[in-house]
Amino acid sequence: MTKEQITNAHWPPETEIPNGDDPTVCPYCSFPLPDDEQLVLHVGLRHYGECTEEEKEAFRDAYVEEEKALNRFRIIALGGLVLLYFGFLIIYALLAG
């Protein structure tokens, strides 16, 4: 199985648009997306070979921003886990001692 077959195995995913919602639609495959940022990421990931240079540049910028947000989330999540661990450890030490 090639990478392309794996990538397209579940494409397009099942989507349901709430009544009254006006989704942003991909100009290449008509897939509905919730906002412009998601559209930029979708075009860059699904249609990189056929999109324009401006779309590629927007995708690279959005990708970098997404990566920064993910790194911030990972650091905050790790900090939360460390606090939770030591919090339970201190509570255990107080109750057991």
- In the complex, which residues of this chain contact Zn ion (CB under 5 A)? 26, 28-29, 31, 46
Dihedral angle, C-alpha 57, 60, 64, 70, nearest 10 °: 130
Closest approach of Zn ion to the CB of residue 72, in Å: 28
Closest approach of Zn ion to the CB of residue 20, in Å: 23
Closest approach of Zn ion to the CB of residue 43, in Å: 6
Q: Give SS3 for 19.
A: coil
Residue closer to Zn ion (CB basis): 31 or 63: 31
